[in-house]
Amino acid sequence: MPELWDSLPAATQDWLWLAALVAPALVMAAVLLRGFAPAPLVRAMLWRFRWTNLCCIALIAVSIGMGAGVITQERALRDGSARAADRFDMVITAPGSDVTMMLATVYLEITDAPLLNGTLFNEVANHPQVALAAPLAYGDSHMGAPVIGTTEGFVRHLAEGQIEGRMWQDPFEAIVGAAIDLKIGDSFVPAHGLGDAAQEGLHGDRIAVVGRMAPTGSPWDRAILVPAESVWLTHGLADGHAEPGQLGPPFDAEFFPGTPAIVVIPRSLASAYLLRQEFTRDRETMAFFPGAVLGNLHRLMGDVRQAMSVLTLVCQALVAAAVMLSLFILSRLFARQVAVLRALGAPGRFVVAVVWAYAMVLLVAGTLTGLVIGQGAAQLLSAVLSSRTELALNARIGWPELHLAAGFVTLGGALALLPALAALRRPIAEALRGG
């Protein structure tokens, strides 16, 4: 049986889970409502106590919306961060924290790191299993955006070939990310340093913008890319070549100032693992897959996600209890109408069907409204986080939220039987007197 389930497409499994969660509520409806038409009475009760009903619906909607919004946003963050790492197959750095260097290279959380020399870079770049090796050189910024020195090959790889304008042809030309507020033809003088430590006026070389990358959905949309030679020359270092004027590889090891990280694109998956093994050397280099490091972080965050899911379930359980308490109170309000039905000879199942259907209308309306609220809240939060992280976040209500909502409706439907049955236990005479 597990083998059959695992062989099913993911969409089929999701539909089956949804059907399984909804099925108990449908069975209850079929048993209680069979042969009866309680709709007119339910509509009358909804209108008679409309403001109380709206409060119940709002309570349910807020609960569902909070749960759905949290789960949806967490999934959007995981997906967005994973997409940002897609263009970074492998990174080679000096030994240290792979998490720190992954954040520095993929998400541009720049940090101080030891430099790798030209001999090592050429060893990586000339390796038969390497399709592309690019140095990263940083240390400058412009209006808070990091200025990153690299190679033409890496820029084309990062932008997937989608570059407006042209590639640089001079050390002091730049390609800007999609979110940079500079147009082709503008120029700027980079500040020394990053963030609050940036110092204007220490560099005199003006850099012209000659191209713009298409959006990548990553923090590199907020980066300014220049030839690595530009960063080295701006800081009074050699430009990596024995003969001045050359841009990009091959670099001359003797004139290579060093790089904190080498981005590597292997020729194949097998090549990637061979390269990681070869360039993970004690006290010399560290090779890692950013996607694997991110996966480990996501697994650690999974505990947080489970905790949030538990809190969401607890919140919904409390809301379900509050709704049931409200239904008990409401059942006292329309106890006289129920007593009249019973006095006129209405079957007990009909009375239960009316009260239960009334409760289910509130539950379903609140749940559907909550899903809408959750979608809106997740999109609003995604917009805020995207502006701060430059990650392309696409928060949408998915199967987990639909399963959560379906389970809540079914559980609420089962609990709604309690006030419905309680309405039958009250003596008719007492209910008619309003006691």
Amino acid sitting at position 237:
L
Collapsing DSSP to helix, strand or coil, 16 comes out as: helix
Range of the structural domain that residue 341 is part of:
2-84+297-433
Task: Report the share of the chain in percent with pLDDT over 70.
Answer: 83
Between CA 282 and CA 315 the distance in angstroms is 50
Tell me: do 303 and 202 sit in the same domain.
no
- Report pLDDT digits (tens) over 71-93: 787 788 888 888 888 889 999 99
- Among 257, 288, 319, where does a domain finish? 288
pLDDT of 282 > 70? The answer is no
C-alpha span between 203 and 189 (Å, rounded): 7
| Integer Cα distance of 274 and 398 in angstroms | 38
pLDDT at 10: 77
What's the N-to-C CA distance of the chain in angstroms?
56
Cα 33 from Cα 31, distance rounded (Å): 6
DSSP, res 255: G
Q: Which of 355, 341, 325 is nearest to 423 (CA)?
A: 355
pLDDT tens digits along 329-350 = 666 666 566 666 666 666 767 7
- Cα(175)–Cα(147) distance, integer angstroms: 10
Supply φ then ψ for residue 278, to 5 degrees.
Answer: -70, -35
Reply yes or no: is the peptide bond before residue 38 cis, omega within 30 of 0: no
pLDDT tens-digit readout, 111-140: 888 899 999 999 999 999 999 999 999 878
Q: Residue 111 in 3-state DSSP?
A: coil
The overall longest dimension of the chain from CA atoms, in Å, is 106
Question: Coil, strand, or helix at residue 359?
Answer: helix
State the amino acid at position 151 in one-letter form: T
Shared domain for 353 and 410, answered yes or no, is: yes
Do 161 and 271 share a domain, yes or no?
A: yes
Q: Domain count of the chain?
A: 2
**Per-residue pLDDT band at 429 (split at 50, 70, 90):** low
Tell me the per-residue pLDDT of 15-72, one tens digit each, with 9 for 90 and over.
Answer: 888 888 888 888 888 888 887 778 888 888 788 778 888 888 888 888 788 778 877 8
Residue 263: the pLDDT is: 94
DSSP string, 383-396: HHHHHHH-------
Are 235 and 189 in the same domain? yes
Instruction: Say which residue the tokens 């997906």 belong to.
Output: 79
The average pLDDT across 406-418 equals: 83
Domain boundary among 227, 256, 288: 288
Q: Which of 329, 337, 340, 344 is nearest to 418 (CA)?
A: 329
Measured from the Cβ of residue 8, the count of other Cβ atoms closer than 10 Å reads 12
Please tell me the predicted confidence (pLDDT) of residue 141. Answer: 86
Average pLDDT (224-250) is: 88
**Domain shared by 351 and 271, yes or no:** no
**What pLDDT score was predicted for residue 130?**
93
CA–CA separation, 46 and 53 (whole Å): 7
The region that residue 245 occupies, defined by phi over 0 for left and psi between -120 and 50 for alpha, beta otherwise, is: left
- What is the average pLDDT across 198-212? 80
Does 79 lie in the same domain as 105? no
Beta bridge partners of 192: 140, 199
The HSE-up count of residue 318 (CA atoms within 13 Å, CB side) is: 10
Q: pTM for the full model? A: 0.75
Cβ-contact 423, 335 below 8 angstroms: yes
**Do 152 and 250 have their domain in common?**
yes
- What Å distances lie between residue 230 and 109, 151, 203, 245, CA to CA? 21, 11, 11, 11
User: Given a cut of 70, is residue 423 above it in pLDDT?
Assistant: no
The pLDDT value recorded for residue 132 is 94
Considering only CA atoms, which of 419, 246, 254 is closest in space to residue 321?
Answer: 419
Q: How far is CA 149 from CA 34, 121, 129, 146, 239, in A?
A: 73, 15, 24, 10, 11
Nearest 5 degrees, angle CA 115-CA 116-CA 119?
Answer: 145
Kindly give, in sequence order, each residue whose CB lies less than 8 Å from that of residue 49, ignoring residues fewer than 6 positions away.
330, 333, 334
Choose one of 288, 320, 350: the last residue of a domain. 288
For residues 96 and 226, state if they share a domain.
yes
Q: Does 80 share its domain with 103?
A: no
Average pLDDT, the chain: 82
pLDDT in tens, 292-314: 888 887 776 665 666 666 666 67
Q: What are the start-end ranges of the H helices in 259-347?
A: 269-278, 290-333, 335-343
Same domain (yes/no): 109, 221: yes
User: Which residues are registered as beta bridge partners of 207?
Assistant: 188
Contacts of 393 (CB under 8 A, 6+ apart): 73, 76, 77, 79, 80, 382, 385, 386
Tell me what pLDDT residue 288 has. Answer: 92
Q: For residue 344, what pLDDT is reported?
A: 61
Q: What pLDDT score was predicted for residue 433?
A: 54
Judgement on whether residues 226 and 130 belong to the same structural domain of the protein: yes
Look at the alpha carbons of 142, 145, 149, 153 in this order and tell me if their dihedral is positive or negative. negative
Instruction: Please tell me whether residues 331 and 375 are part of one structural domain.
Output: yes
What pLDDT was estimated at residue 147? 92
Mean pLDDT confidence for 283-296:
86
Two structure tokens written together for 241 = 């070549």
User: What are the tens digits of pLDDT across the range 247-279?
Assistant: 889 999 899 999 999 999 999 999 999 999 988
Q: What does the pLDDT read at residue 260?
A: 93
Amino acid at 273: Y
Type of residue numbered 314:
V
The residue whose two tokens read 């006289």 is 336
Rg (CA), the chain: 32
